[in-house]
Amino acid sequence: MEPTQKQRISYVPFEDVDEKMQAELRRCAEHGTPRPESSAVRAHSPEAFWAFADSWQSQFHSGVVDHAIKDLCRVYISRTVKCEFCGNQRSEKATSAGLQEMQYDQLLNFETADIYDDRQKAALAYAEAIAWGSQDLDALWDRLHAHFDERELVELGTCIALTFGQQSWIRLLGIDHHQYMAGTSASMAPGFETADDLKSSKAAEDYWAASKRA
């Protein structure tokens, strides 16, 4: 699918939402994942805004599964559905846990890459299967049960499913970073910290989503 260059749903002005929603938008601007632009679109529907914010907090930012694994799965989904808005963000918590940029760069070739351990590869295979299906479900589930208990599998699967659905929608919106509550680099991937950096990185020949525009 070709990218939408025109913004399709407007941002709700910050001053038009209540104090509780403003606090969440400030958190997005200061810490990211998500950044405030996608949340400012959801603000058209307070029910949708809080349904996502609360679910994302409990499943992505909290829970029992290693947060770094969740962020690898989140960015894998970004790469495989080519959601540039989400794919150009990094979780501050995952970075603090030791994830390195090269571990994001090879996500689409995770099975053959030697920078992931077996548990990470199993989680990424789960994300791949949720997004695109699996030819061998018995082998997939044997692999998953070898690395995760059932509580972890439910939490991780629900988190992957949530990000898959959200990113498949967000890529249609025509939104980008540094457009709403601009001025912070929170959770931006290296090379995307400012509006100028973002523009330059997107213009580079090796930009990860360049093939979509070709």
CATH code of 35's domain:
1.20.1290.10
HSE-up (13 A, CA, CB side) for residue 20: 5
Q: How far apart are CA 11 and CA 39, in angstroms?
A: 8
Residue 9 inside a domain? The answer is: no
43: DSSP letter: T
Residue 8 inside a domain? The answer is: no
Residue 196 inside a domain? The answer is: yes
User: Cα–Cα distances in Å, from 46 out to 30, 55, 194?
Assistant: 21, 14, 29
Residue 7 inside a domain? The answer is: no
Residue 34 inside a domain? The answer is: yes
pTM of the model: 0.93
Which residues are CB-neighbours of 98 under 8 A, at least 6 positions away?
A: 68
Q: What is the pLDDT of residues 69-104, one digit of tens each?
A: 999 999 999 999 999 999 999 999 999 999 999 999
Residue 62 inside a domain? The answer is: yes
Which residues form the domain of 70?
Answer: 14-213
Q: What is the model's pLDDT at position 3? A: 47
What is the total count of domains within the chain?
1
Residue 96 inside a domain? The answer is: yes
Q: Does pLDDT of 199 surpass 50?
A: yes
Residue 3 inside a domain? The answer is: no
